[in-house]
């Protein structure tokens, strides 16, 4: 687990006290595509060997109760604004309230 993933976990845990939190770094499967190359160049790296740019997050939290899908995603984007403005190029979300 790299520093970006650790920071994301910390922020999401503090903000939402999740019952479930899974963060997967999917960067390796996206290395080399045009968007990754452009993003890597902006971050001062190269398109090959990039990491911690593409993530998939599954989060279940009571904080999402009563919120629709878009509101849950906006709340997460707000918490991770710094990462999304910098190292994170793509973020796939699955955010739910407990059943």
Q: In this predicted structure, what is the pLDDT of residue 94?
A: 98
CATH number corresponding to 3-96: 3.30.300.90
The string of pLDDT tens digits covering residues 67-92 is: 999 999 999 999 999 999 988 989 99
Q: In this predicted structure, what is the pLDDT of residue 47?
A: 47
Contacts of 18 (CB under 8 A, 6+ apart): 12, 59, 60, 61
The string of pLDDT tens digits covering residues 24-34 is: 999 887 665 55
Of 66, 48, 61, which Cα lies nearest the Cα of 94?
61
Cα distance between residue 67 and residue 50, in whole Å = 35
């Amino acid at each position: 687990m790299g520093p970006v993933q650790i920071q994301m976990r910390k922020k999401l845990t503090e903000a939402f006290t999740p019952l479930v939190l899974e963060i997967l770094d999917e960067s390796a499967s996206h290395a080399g595509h045009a968007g990754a190359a452009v993003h890597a160049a902006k971050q001062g790296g190269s398109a090959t060997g990039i990491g911690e740019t593409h993530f998939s997050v599954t989060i279940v939290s009571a904080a999402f109760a009563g919120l629709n899908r878009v509101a849950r995603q906006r709340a997460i984007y707000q918490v991770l604004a710094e990462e999304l403005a910098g190292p994170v190029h793509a973020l796939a979300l699955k955010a739910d309230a407990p059943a």
